Structure formats: C-alpha cells, structure tokens
Structure 1
Amino acid sequence: MVSTPTRHPRRKPALRPHPVAKRSTPTTQAESSPGPAVVEPPPERTGLVGKFVRLWRFLEGSDKQTSGSSYYMILGATLALTAIGLMMVLSASSVESIAKAASSVEPTDEGAIVFDFFFKQSMYAVLGVVMMLVLSRFGPRMFKILAWPGLGVAVVLLVLVLIIGESINGNQNWIRIGNQSLQPSEPAKLALALWCATVLERKRGLVRDWKHALVPVLPLGGVILLLVMLGGDLGTAIILGMIIAAALFFAGAPMRMFILLGVVGIAAAFGATLLNSTRSTRIEAWLRLNCESALDPCFQSNQGLFALASGGWWGVGIGQSRQKWNWIPEAHNDFIFAIIGEEFGLVGTLVVIILFGILAVATLRVARRYTDPFVRILMGSIMVWLIGQAFVNIGMVTGVLPVIGVPLPFISYGGSALTFTLAAVGVLLAFARRMPPAVPEPAQIASSMEKSKRTP
C-alpha cells in the first residue's frame, strides 16, 4: 500500500494591527527644516589675554551686534559729507593759498602751498575717521566711564585758552601747538553731551522735577558756556546751549522749564551782543541798518548771496567759482556753503541738506529702538549738535540768521571741528551696531490677535 504524502495547509500570515493615524500637529518651518549644525563656542581664554577680553566685553555692555540699515545710513552720510568737505576745501582755499605764496618773500614751493589747507584737512579727516571707528566699538559703560574725566579735561583746556590762547578775529579760542592749533571748544561739545547724558540717566524719573533737572546740569554746564563766552565765541556758546537743552528735552524735563530757559538765553545773548561792538555791528548788518557805512559790514553776507544766486540750478562747475577770488572772506570756512551753491548750484546745496537729513532720520530711528535713557539722551544731544549747527551755518549764509561764525559740520575747514565731529558720529555708530529689534506697537499686537481669531 502506497501512502500518499499529506499536504500541510498553508499558514495564513498573521494579521498585523493597522496603524492608527495619529493627529498631526502643525509644525513651523523652523521645526520641519533641518537646523544648522550646533557649533560649540571656543573655550574661554585664560590668563592675561582672557582678563583683557572679559574686560572689553564688560565695557562694551553687549556682545550682540545687529548692524542694520540705520548704521550704514549714518556711516554713508558722514563719509559723503566728509568727502564733499575735502573737495570744497581744496576748491575754496586754492585762491587764498596762491595769494599767500605770491606775497611770500621767501622762496617757497607754490604747488605745496596751494594744497596746504587740503593736506591739513585730509590729515585731520584720517584722524577723525580712526577715532570714529574706535569709538564705534565702545559700549554704554565705557562712555559713562569717560563722562566725568572728559568734562574735567574740557574745563582745563578752556581755562588754558584764556591764559595762553591765541586770539583770531576777536575770539580767543585756539591753543597753538607748534605748527598746529587746537580749538578746545570742539572736544568740549562731545564731553558736555556725554556728561549730561550720564548725569540725567542716573536721575531718571526725578528729572520731572525742575530742581533735579537743572542741578547739576545747569551749574556745571554753565561753567563750560561761561569759559567759552569769556573767549568771545558767542556762536559756539549757542551750540553748547543747544546741547544742554537737547539733553534735558530727551531726558523728559518739564516743558514749561524750556520757556524760562529760552527767555534767559535770549536775554543773555542780547546782553552779550550789546557789550561787544563787533556782535552789535553784525546784528545791525543782518537787519540792514548800517549797510551804507564806509566799513560795509554787509559785504560778506551780500557776497555769499551773490555766490548762491550766480550758481543757478546746476552751478558754474567745480573749481570755477568767481566769488572765492577774495570776494568772500572765510570762503573755505564759515561761508563754504556759498561756494557749494555757486559751483554746484541749487542741486548741490540740496544734496548737502539731504545728507544731513539722512543723518538725522537714521539717528532718530536708532534712538527710538532703545529703552535705555542714557542712549536716547546722548544720541539726541549729538543729533541736535550736528543738525542744529548745520542749520545755523546755512541760515547764516542765506541771510536767515546773523553772521555768528559757526562752521558747517564735516565740510568747513578746521581740524579740531572735523576730528571731534567724526568722533561724535562714532558714538552714534556704537549704538547703531547694537540696535535692538523693533518692538511691535500695542495697536499692531491687537490687530494681529484679531486676525488670528478670525482665521480658522
């Protein structure tokens, strides 16, 4: 009997449980996309180098650097104005340099003398840019540390001006050091802005009381103004007064106090004008009361207006100014804006004004981002200093204001003015480099919440 093999039944595969679909949660783009590889920070340095690095970070106050468009707007406008200034100093001073070389008894290199003002201004521009870049690396702590020593140095220099200073055009405002001269009132502007911001930041809410707002800002700041006034420089004293007023305004001082300070300031300026024959003559020339006299005090302002008018829309061309041929006194200094208008026309003057406007707008954009009152007060004071001085100079050249001898920032000839003006911009850049991110306004937050509720 043959047995047939039995077939084993095919085993059915084991049933696997069907996976239950889990409810997916919405993931953001940052969660779904693979993130960057985490790089471990380098180990902290030890020894003397490590201590120096930690001290530098402490003085900076923040390691986070968020340079934005405002940073490059401030830097670009500053460098553009400085370049325009160097070009116009070369153009406006060439005639005076040629006349100086022709009248010299000793044989001189005429080519070197023609470029003398330009070479000096370029040297101070390089020095100012270096100071600007160095100060742009500092933080609020470092500026607060420099406030009191800076004010002390400014007072000492202003006292030295009255003792060993050199008088030019009735103003004793320079200290001669070899072939170079220093104008201590220029570093005093930056020192005063730093000091006012430091003092008012410590008072904070107490500034609402006028007694705390005025003390010690007005007594010690008044010492700086008094020393400058004793040297006979009313124009610089007005700019210093604007810096103090701006610091009090951005600190939140009561508005009624500014009315009283304005009345006192106008009365002081009026008294200083009456006590000085040169100032009273300039005021009369501005009012057109003595233009027919033999001295012709209206000559400078009239020639400045002629230069602006002859420039027309597009100007007569760079280097082609006619009024600079000994028609406008101080053509490369206080009245350099008139030479810009003659050689580049209305378009050139508008470019300069727009660059100052860009500087002001960018500074305000940075200051509004900060909640630290020290930063706001300091940036506001520097902005009022630079823009206010530019307004006074342009108003002086166009006849809106009397001639008070205030240079145009970044553009007029003057080593001390250019160096410390660029240093002040370095302070602005220091805060623009660390500008905090924008905080949404309450209205924007409410509207975004309403939109999120409406969307399913």
Structure 2
Amino acid sequence: MSPTELHPVRTPADEEETEARSRPLQRLWRLVEGRRALDLSVLLIGGSTFLLTALGLVMVLSSSSVEAIGTGGGSYGLFLRQTMWAVAGLAALLLFSRLPIGWIKALAWPAFGLAVVLLSLVAFTPLGVTVGGNTNWLGIGGFRMQPSEAAKLALALWAAAVLERKHRLVTQVRHALVPVLPGGLLLIGLVMAGSDLGTAIILALVLAAVLFVAGTHRGVFIAFSAVTVVGAIALTLLAPHRMVRVQAWLGDCSDASDPCFQPDHGMYALASGGWWGAGLGQSRQKWSYIPEAENDFIFTILGEELGLVGTLGVLLAYLALAVGMYRVAAGTTSPFIRLATWGIMAWLVGQAFVNIAMVSGVIPVVGVPLPFISYGGSALTLSLTAVGIVLAFARHERRRAEEPDARPDADDRDTDPLPVIPAPASQES
C-alpha cells in the first residue's frame, strides 16, 4: 500500500467542503454559548411568557363562559377583564425591561415597605376582603387587588439587594439571618394572618431559594427549611378547614358535597382528556362540576380540552422559562441580578409546579393559581412585571458582553470582587 493511500492528500476543495459542513454547527454553537447566547435566553423567556399568557386568555374564556352566562358581564365578562389586565401587564413588562439596573435596585426597599403596608391593611383593617376562607384581598371601593402577589416580587428584589451588600459575609450566620430572614418571616406572617397558607409556602420558597443561592451556611438553610415544614404541618393540623383538605387528599370522602368534589372532578377532567383532548371549548367538567374552574383548577380544564399533548406543552413552556432565567442568572457577575433572577424563577416556576401537583393529586389542595394562565388580574400583571425585570437583567448583561473593555457601570461597582492579596512568600532557611 502506497503512502498516498495510507495518508490521502487533502485538496483545497476537500477543505472547503469540510468547512461548509461545519458552518451550521458553528452557528448553532455561537447561538447557544457564544456572545449571542443571551439572545437565546431572551427568546426562551419572552416566547414562553407570550405563549402561556395567550393560552391563559383562551382558557379563561373557555372555562368561565358557561357559568358567567347569567352574570352582568355575560360569557365574555371575565375574559375581557383578564385581557385588560394582560395588556396592562405587557405594558409593565415593556417598561421594566428598559429600566437601568440601578433603578430596579433602588425600588427594592420601597417595594418591600409597600408590601408590608398593604399586607397589614389586608390583615388588620376592614379593607381586607375574605374570599374562599382566605383574607388575602384588599378592597377599596369597587377595586380589588391581592397584595400578596406584590409581596412575592418585593421579597425577591429586596432579599437580593440586601444579600448583595453582604455577599462576602453571608456565610456567617448572623449576616445571613439579619435582616433577610426576619423580613421574609414578617411577610409570611402577615400573609398567614389572612389564613393564606398557599401564598405563604410560595414566599417561603422564594426566600429559601435566594438564601441558598447566596451561599448561606448550610446549617442556617437546613434549619429554615425544617422550621418551614414543621410550621406548615402545625398550621394544617390546627386549622379544621385545612385538615379537611388533607383528608380529602387521602381519600376520606363521605358524600358529594365534601371537599373531595372539586379535586375528584379535576381528576375526571384530566383523565377524560386522553391524548388529544375533547376539543377547545368542549369540556364537560366546567359545567359547574369544578367550582370556579377558571382559577386554581384551570389546568384540569386545559387537560380535558387539549389532552396530554396540551398539558405537556404547558410543562415545556414553563421549562423553557426556567432555562431562560437560569441562563441569565448563571451568566452574570452581579450578585443582585443572580439572586433576584433566582427568586423570581422560584416564584413563577415553583408556583406553577405546586399548582400542577395540587390539581393532579400529588399534594393536597393549597390554593395557589397557575402563573400566566389562571384568572386573576393582580397575579397576571405582577408576573409579567417580574418577567420584564428579568429581561432588563438580560439586556444589561448583553450590553456588558458587547463592551467587555468598558469601565464598570455605577450599578455594578459595589459588586466587583475585592482585589486578591497574595500571601507572603515563605522564608527558606
């Protein structure tokens, strides 16, 4: 065998062909991990948010139109109201996505203070409105809102701003505890004053995520998690209306009027959807079998009408949202951006999976809505606002990536690492 056969000579044409074949892979690699990587994060976050919001409007119309026929607003009443809140939320998303990081950081403390004031008004004044056994609405005239939704965003931003200032000391117990843990427990306590355990669990999830990502001492994190679990169990055991839900989850049902009625019919809806669903608008369980189907149990109507394929599509949308936010948090050098993004992701994605686990029977009914999809103006508007803030973070990091040699912004100077002081050389004898 000749040397040429062992080592064939590559011609310029062969090299050009090899380069042409590798170009698509190089473009894909540059998209995923190159300087344009943040474009993928923005696409995942924005695309999944738009898809979930649009699907939510459709499902609110489908799930509420039957029972709303006899109301003053007619079959389209709740849908039109949710559409107005969606437009307001998208406007807030666009506004906050253009704000400088310094402005967002400056809003952290005022947002936290406002959340405390509003939650106090709900818990301790006649302005608090009780719905479904929980006093979590603030009613002023004909206007109603849920301050607990604003508290979730406020906690994520405030805890991130505080821990950024102490990020080099957060491994010390006292710096991890004060003031983030007392402040978070204050919000949780005010929410629990209105008996809203579901929202309190989501706030605890946000607080735990921020403390964990900040590098809190493992003992502090484990102790906080243990106290949270024990507290949730105790609050459940001490409240008869919560114990009834747990008994319903365990299958202790006596008649059709007990709390098993709603979760059981939710399971019927999911089971009857099959692979492809009964068709949009064709749900049978929304005909007064599932009370207020447009709220916490809207995922069951979605599963009945769009089938397993539709539910898996929703899960993939939330997964895309989580991946996009994770990429923003993992690609930044700013502790504030990283912690705030993780807090918002724990809120939106964590609450989504708590709701889906609830309606599918994995956990007892805790009463939390499905972000972007369930009916609720306060929840939708503030969720879209939170997404706008994460998009502002992505825009900020994109600008920094395009100008690697630029001087640090005023917003980032306090987050630059301390200079490394070399250790003195050892003296040799």
TM range (shorter): 0.7 to 0.9
Partner residue, 2:286: 324
**Aligned-residue offset at 1:295:** 4.0
Query: What is the alpha-carbon distance in structure 2 between the residues aligned to residue 179 and residue 83 of structure 1?
Result: 27
Superposed, which structure 2 residues align to 1:348-359 within 5 Å? 348-359=310-321
Query: What is the alpha-carbon distance in structure 1 between the residues aligned to residue 307 and residue 37 of structure 2?
Result: 39
Label 1:92 to 1:353 Cα distance change in 2 as closer, same or farther (>3 A).
same
One of 376, 395, 399 as aligned partner of 2:357: 395
Residue-by-residue CA offset, 1:81-120 (whole Å, 9 max, x unaligned): 000000000000011101x33xxxxxx6xxx411110011
CA contact under 8 A between 1:67 and 1:434: conserved in structure 2? no
Segment drifting more, 116-125 vs 428-437: 428-437
Q: Which runs of 5+ in 1 are unaligned?
A: 1-63, 102-107, 440-456
Superposed, which structure 2 residues align to 1:182-331 within 5 Å? 182-288=145-251, 290-293=252-255, 295-331=257-293
Residue-by-residue CA offset, 1:256-291 (whole Å, 9 max, x unaligned): 322211211111111111221110110111122x21
Query: What is the alpha-carbon distance in structure 2 between the residues aligned to residue 314 and residue 180 of structure 1?
Result: 40
Secondary structure of 2:138's aligned partner: strand
Query: What is the alpha-carbon distance in structure 2 between the residues aligned to residue 344 and residue 94 of structure 1?
Result: 17
CA contact under 8 A between 1:389 and 1:408: conserved in structure 2? yes
One of 113, 118, 136 as aligned partner of 1:157: 118
Partner residue, 1:143: 104
Secondary structure of 1:68's aligned partner: helix
- Number of residue equivalences: 365
CA contact under 8 A between 2:38 and 2:328: conserved in structure 1? no
Secondary structure of 2:170's aligned partner: helix
Q: 1:362 is matched by which residue type in structure 2? A: G
One of 57, 64, 67 as aligned partner of 1:96: 67
- Once the two structures are aligned, what percentage of the paired residues are identical? 55
Q: 2:61 is matched by which residue type in structure 1? A: L
Q: 2:283 is matched by which residue type in structure 1? A: S
CA contact under 8 A between 1:192 and 1:221: conserved in structure 2? yes
Secondary structure of 2:74's aligned partner: helix
**Aligned-residue offset at 1:294:** 6.5
Q: 2:266 is matched by which residue type in structure 1? A: G
Query: What is the alpha-carbon distance in structure 2 between the residues aligned to residue 296 and residue 165 of structure 1?
Result: 27
Query: What is the alpha-carbon distance in structure 1 between the residues aligned to residue 292 and residue 364 of structure 2?
Result: 15
TM-score by length of 1: 0.78
Residue-by-residue CA offset, 1:36-63 (whole Å, 9 max, x unaligned): xxxxxxxxxxxxxxxxxxxxxxxxxxxx
**Aligned-residue offset at 1:422:** 0.4
Q: Kindly indicate whether residue 90 of structure 2 is the aligned counterpart of residue 119 of structure 1.
A: no
Query: What is the alpha-carbon distance in structure 2 between the residues aligned to residue 193 and residue 365 of structure 1?
Result: 18
Query: What is the alpha-carbon distance in structure 2 between the residues aligned to residue 209 and residue 406 of structure 1?
Result: 34
Superposed, which structure 2 residues align to 1:327-338 within 5 Å? 327-338=289-300
Q: 2:341 is matched by which residue type in structure 1? A: M
Q: Kindly indicate whether residue 131 of structure 2 is the aligned counterpart of residue 168 of structure 1.
A: yes
Q: 1:323 is matched by which residue type in structure 2? A: Q
TM-score by length of 2: 0.82
One of 53, 61, 77 as aligned partner of 1:82: 53
Secondary structure of 1:175's aligned partner: strand
**Aligned-residue offset at 1:296:** 2.4
Query: What is the alpha-carbon distance in structure 2 between the residues aligned to residue 177 and residue 120 of structure 1?
Result: 18
Q: Which runs of 5+ in 2 are unaligned?
A: 1-34, 405-429
CA contact under 8 A between 2:146 and 2:378: conserved in structure 1? yes
Q: 1:428 is matched by which residue type in structure 2? A: V
Partner residue, 1:405: 367
**Aligned-residue offset at 1:181:** 1.1
Partner residue, 1:415: 377
Query: What is the alpha-carbon distance in structure 1 between the residues aligned to residue 140 and residue 298 of structure 2?
Result: 26
Residue-by-residue CA offset, 1:195-230 (whole Å, 9 max, x unaligned): 000000000111111221111111111111100000
Q: 1:75 is matched by which residue type in structure 2? A: G
Partner residue, 1:34: none
**Aligned-residue offset at 1:255:** 2.4
**Aligned-residue offset at 1:293:** 4.8
Larger Rg: 1
